[in-house]
Amino acid sequence: MPELIPPVVRVHRSFLAAMGELRAEGRGTAEDASMTGRDLYSYGGRWADPEVFAGYVHALRRGAAEDAPRPSGFVPCTTLWYVEKGEFLGRLDLRHRLTPFLLDQGGHIGYDVRPGARGHGHATAMLRRIAPYARVLGLARTLVTCEETNVASRRVIEKSGAVYEDRRGSKLRYWLTTTDGPTTRAARPRTDAALAPARPRLP
């Protein structure tokens, strides 16, 4: 069964294949403002180098820390990868708080599923599994947004149980409740990377 885990270097080969699929459909341009798109644009030509990839993994894990370097206007963010048997399937980013822009447009959550893994419910499954991570951050609910014209994303968000609030510009805004139950020790998510980032070793 797929699981959400902190970024790891052991999925390097699969990750490269997934990014190739995304680039083939036009992702990773200077106009792609998604987190995956920005990373493709910045790292795409260098990821094949294991040292560069290890540094990228470290940067993602470090990104959850308050004192991590980040562009102006960005907030701490926990990045999780959706992996099954060493195969990279997708990515979910959980922003720790909302700026005015994120409240209107971006939301707490961003996600991507590689083209070759779509149609299997992975995006909905990732959203449904975010609650324990959000509760660790003290978030009683998380905001998810999508373009009004993005029918596929609307279906994913609505199937996850998120509740529609309103439209702001071209964005539809949904809230996903994360307080269905307490986060017990057994149910606590794998947040080792977020709480104590460490540079991963090469495989």
Helix (H, G, I), strand (E, B) or coil at 40: helix
What CA–CA distance (Å, rounded) separates 4 from 7?
Answer: 9
| pTM, full prediction | 0.86
Per-residue pLDDT, 27: 93
Instruction: Give the CATH H-level superfamily of domain 3-195.
Output: Gcn5-related N-acetyltransferase (GNAT) (3.40.630.30)
Looking at this protein, which amino acid is placed at residue 82? Y
Per-residue pLDDT, 92: 97
Which helix (H) or strand (E) segment holds residue 111: the answer is: strand 109-113
Per-residue pLDDT, 180: 59
Domain residue ranges of the chain, discontinuous segments joined by +: 3-195
Those residues with Cβ within 8 angstroms of residue 58's Cβ, 6 or more apart along the chain or in another chain: 197, 199, 200
Per-residue pLDDT, 107: 97
Task: Output the DSSP codes for 41-92.
Answer: HHHTTTTTSHHHHHHHHHHHHHTTSTTS---TT---EEEEEEEETTEEEEEE
Per-residue pLDDT, 184: 35
Is the four-CA dihedral 32, 35, 41, 42 of positive or negative sign?
A: positive
Q: What is the chain's pLDDT, residue by residue, as a tens digit (203 residues)?
A: 999 999 999 999 999 999 999 999 999 999 998 899 999 999 988 999 999 999 999 999 999 999 999 989 999 999 999 999 999 999 999 999 999 999 999 999 999 999 999 999 999 999 999 999 999 999 999 999 999 999 999 999 999 999 999 999 999 999 999 875 443 333 344 443 333 333 333 33
Per-residue pLDDT, 185: 34
| Residues 170 and 149: beta-carbon distance below 8 Å | yes
